[in-house]
Amino acid sequence: MNNNLNETMKFETNKDIDSEVKKIIFAVYDALKEKGYDPINQIIGYILSGDPTYITSHKDARSIIRKVERDELLEEILRSYLEKENNI
């Protein structure tokens, strides 16, 4: 671990899983929407808490979302937002 607080840590991710994460987010979003939940609130609840009960088991969404780490979900959401907003 870097003990120098004046240096910036570099965080790298696996680019190969990006499209899979995106598919998972949309599949879970659709399942939550179909069951009448607010998908945004439910996915945020899951990402912040790690509690899978925020995600419906409808269409196997709960087990699907657990195939990826929460930080990977957050990374894909942030990347998509920034790309859209900044035309990256």
What average pLDDT does this structure show over 62-84? Answer: 94
Residue 5 banded pLDDT, cuts 50, 70, 90: confident
Residue 12 confidence (pLDDT) above 80: no
Residue 75 banded pLDDT, cuts 50, 70, 90: very high
Q: Mean pLDDT, the chain, as a whole number? A: 90
Residues 21, 68: contact at Cβ < 8 Å?
yes
Instruction: Calculate the CA dihedral of residues 71, 75, 77, 81 and round it to 10 degrees.
Output: 150
Strands (E), 1-88: none
